[in-house]
Structures are given as structure tokens and as C-alpha cells.
Structure 1
Amino acid sequence: MVKVLLVDDDTELCALQAEYLRVEGFEVSLAHDGESGAAAALSGEHAIVVLDVMMPRLNGIEALRRIRQTSRVPVIMLTARGDDIDRVLGLELGADDYVPKPCTPRELVARIRAILRRVDSGTAPREAHASLSIGALSLRPEQRRAEWAGEILDLTSTEFNLLEVLARQAGTPVSKQDLSEQGLGRPLARYDRSIDVHVSNLRGKLGLLADGRSPIQTVRGVGYQYITE
């Protein structure tokens, strides 16, 4: 069974979500503060972490910062609806996605499955396993491994997904809607800045082309395009 870690100080809500997840076939562990949640996330026992922002002892942002120092475990942030500052900061620190609260257990399960579907290469179509090399970039989807000029890139699961989508369509603009659906596993919501933040993170981790430009270029009014020259 896939093991999910829920980190939220709202014990009643946490219990409700855990019950729904168990019915849906997940194994669930609970933590009710950021300190114990970060420690549990770093244990290596969980396939994905759902992390609330507002918590005692250590808030979700600081817990995420601690997790990302040594772990690439997928993380979904639970953020207050309309709280763009926490949302963007979480994505910049390496969260894979966010769910605005209050959310239904059904929506949370859908987000969890969308991320796990992309992480689990065993469920991907055969063509998605194919390695890819474009200029200095090399991708090995079966290993979830990306390299730039032979150096391993430290990418989150979502960053790898988005980079793969862009690289496989190199030279062609890819809309933000397509990036969201293929990389995050969900439609792009109105005013959603997730794709922009993830792409900004990718640009900071990738190397530059010979002329000093980023290989990921903005296509105004459309989305982004991976280029090689």
C-alpha cells in the first residue's frame, strides 16, 4: 500500500482525511506539528507528504525547508484559500503542488494520485520511459534522473515532470494549461501561478546556453518553450 503522511494540527480534519484515504486504499500516518512532521517525512517511509502551512512548533514553510535540505519526497502544501504569499513561497522552496483549504477529501486524493502517477514510472506508457538527450540536457525517466553537462540536477518530482514535458516538445511552445495537465496532473486554475514558479525554479537549476540565455524561454501569451540555441 502507498503510504501517505498527513501533517496538520487540525486533528479532526486530519482524522477525516485519513479515513477517506484509507478507504481509497492508502496507508496513512499522522503528525500534528511541523517538528514531528518534518522528522516523519525524512524517515523515508512515505511516498508523499501532505503538509499544512499553519502549525505549532514549526510551521509548514519551515518544515518544508527542513525536508528539502535532504529529501526529494513529493510534498503537497495545504494553504489558506487566497494566501498567495505562502503558496508561492512553498512552491519556491520545492513543494510539488498545493491545495487551498478548505478542501474536500476527494480533491486531496485526486491531487495525491496525480503526483504519484507521474512519479511512478512503472505506470507510465512505454514511450515515456525513453531516455532523452538535448544539447547539455540528459533525462532518464525510469530513474527520475536529470543531468546538465554530466552534472546531476537536484529536481523535485514536479520539476522533473515539467522539464520532461518541455524537453520532449523542444522547439515547440507548450501552453501553461498543457504543462499543468501533463506535469501536475490537473487543469490550470484561474490566477494559478504554480507553473510560473516551478519554471523559475527550473531556470535557476539548469545551466545556460552558449549565448547566456536560459534554455527555457517564455512565449508571451502562450507558455514556455525549450530551446537548444
Structure 2
Amino acid sequence: MNKLKALVIDDEWNMRNLLRIYLTKEGFDITEAHNGTEGLSYLQKNSYHVILLDVMMPDMDGWHLCEKIRSFTETPILMLTARGDVKDKVHGLGVGADDYMVKPVNSDELIARLFALVRRSSQSLSLKEIGKKIMYTDMIIYPDRRQVMVLDTNLDLTQKELDILLILAENPQRVFSRDEIIERLWGSDFFGDNRVVDTHVKNIREKLQLAGLEQNPIQTVWGIGYKWLYSVEEP
């Protein structure tokens, strides 16, 4: 059985170390981020079963970070803080946290809450309607539950990688420019380089190849952008 993956975002080394001891003992695979910016970077590249998030951090407080995380993933979030006011707890839950604990935490209660969050999240995913599926050689895409299977193995994509794949797969043979993709995913206020799309597409292609898909469905349309070669959609 694969280990449960947890992301710990806290600027205090002592707290990260304590949480690492607690969670590693229970079989979790831990990734540590010492501030909000680093935490976001990890989340954009990897998937986790649960996030432990500190509230008071220097570069970005936990409430703001929680809102950012909720804009692109439903991964369960447990907020940890030294502030025990009810209004703080209400605010944390209001911005998207799933649970809230006041430091110092009891290890047994923490682990019990984490397993409960993971269990509820798994049940929620299993109850989602499968709906239509898109098939391409040895790959099956379930858009409604945002899942991609290659050779019966779940493909681990970041949120943006999955978004781009779905835009293309749900519109086979249609050419999408980089600017169109950026508009859909980042909005009109995006001021970065549109080559960010190329980076995500490169990552998708590499992951599909590593997963064993022999023919890649994403075709480059030189000077414009990308299109999906072909797919079969079933109800």
C-alpha cells in the first residue's frame, strides 16, 4: 500500500520537526515547506493526501494561503495555530480549511483528525459520479472526477497540467493558442510569459511517456499552440 503523503507548511523548524516525528511514526510520507511561497510551489508540482498549515507565517499568513490553495485543489487542510479564539477558527474554516487545531497539539488527537480528513476525502471522491469518459489508446480520462488512467494506473498530474490536458482532450482537433489556454486557466490579468504553457505541456508529455503511453496525443501546432489528435468519448 502506498504511503499517505502530507505537506507540512510552517515557518518554525521545531514545529515541523515535531510534526514529522508524529506523522512518520504513523507511516506518512512528509514534505516540509518553511513558508507559504514554498508550500504553493510544492502543491503546484505534486499531489498530497492532506495539508497541515500554520496560520502565522512571515511571507504569507495561513488564511491567505488557504484561499490560494482552495482555488486549485480540494486536498484536505488542517490549520494549526497558537491562536485559540473562536472567531479565528470560524475565519479559518470560512476560507476553506477542513479542520482547525490550537498549538500545542496532542499527538493522538492530531493523528486521529488527519486520518478522519483523509477518510472523508476518499469517500467524497468515490461518491463522485463517473460520468463520461474520454479514451485514447491505453489512456482513459474521467473529466467529471478529474482522473487520468494510463494502463490502469492513475496518472499523477498537477492541477494546471490536468486543466490543460482536459481543455485539449475535450476539444479534439481544435487548435488552442497559448494565449487562449492562459485566458482559461489564469484569466486576463496574467502578466507572465505565455511559454509557461509549453512547460506544462512538456511535463504532461513526459509523464504520459513514463506511464507507458506509446503515442502522445498532444500535437504542437507551430507558431500557434497545441491540439489533441484524436479521442473517443463515451457516455
- Give TM-score, length-normalised by structure 1: 0.52
Deviation of 1:41 after TM superposition, in Å, equals 2.9
- 1:217 corresponds to which residue? none
4+ residue segments displaced more than 4 Å: none
- 1:117 corresponds to which residue? 119
Deviation of 1:84 after TM superposition, in Å, equals 2.5
1:138-153 equivalences in 2 (<5 Å): 142-144=126-128
CA distance in 1 between counterparts of 2:30 and 2:18 reads 11
1:10 aligns with 2:51: no
Give the gaps of 5 or more residues in structure 2.
Answer: 130-143, 145-235
1:53 aligns with 2:55: yes
CA distance in 1 between counterparts of 2:39 and 2:125 reads 29
1:100 aligns with 2:106: no
- 1:183 corresponds to which residue? none
1:82 aligns with 2:66: no
CA distance in 1 between counterparts of 2:15 and 2:106 reads 10
Deviation of 1:19 after TM superposition, in Å, equals 1.6
- 2:45 corresponds to which residue? 43
CA distance in 1 between counterparts of 2:88 and 2:43 reads 20
Bigger radius of gyration? 2
CA distance in 2 between counterparts of 1:116 and 1:93 reads 19
CA distance in 1 between counterparts of 2:95 and 2:44 reads 16
CA distance in 2 between counterparts of 1:44 and 1:141 reads 18
- 2:170 corresponds to which residue? none
Give per-residue Cα distances to partners, 1:71-112, cap 9 Å, x unaligned: 111101112242223321111111111111111232211110
- 1:187 corresponds to which residue? none
Tell me: CA distance 1:62–1:27, structure 2 relative to 1, closer, same or farther (3 Å).
same
CA distance in 1 between counterparts of 2:101 and 2:48 reads 19
CA distance in 2 between counterparts of 1:66 and 1:141 reads 21
1:204-223 equivalences in 2 (<5 Å): none
CA distance in 1 between counterparts of 2:115 and 2:44 reads 21
CA distance in 1 between counterparts of 2:87 and 2:41 reads 25
Amino acid at match of 1:118: R
Contact 1:78 1:100 in 2 (8 A): yes
Contact 1:79 1:86 in 2 (8 A): no
1:122-137 equivalences in 2 (<5 Å): none
Deviation of 1:120 after TM superposition, in Å, equals 2.1
Contact 1:42 1:67 in 2 (8 A): no
RMSD of aligned Cα (Å): 2.3
Deviation of 1:69 after TM superposition, in Å, equals 1.1
Which among 61, 64, 78 is matched to residue 62 of structure 1? 64
Deviation of 1:20 after TM superposition, in Å, equals 1.8
Contact 1:41 1:49 in 2 (8 A): no
CA distance in 2 between counterparts of 1:108 and 1:41 reads 22
User: How many residues are paired up?
Assistant: 130
Q: Percent identity?
A: 38
Range 25-34 or range 36-45, more displaced: 36-45
Deviation of 1:141 after TM superposition, in Å, equals 6.2
Secondary structure of the 1:20 match is: helix
CA distance in 2 between counterparts of 1:33 and 1:18 reads 16
Deviation of 1:118 after TM superposition, in Å, equals 1.6
Contact 1:3 1:28 in 2 (8 A): yes
Give the gaps of 5 or more residues in structure 1.
Answer: 122-139, 146-151, 153-229
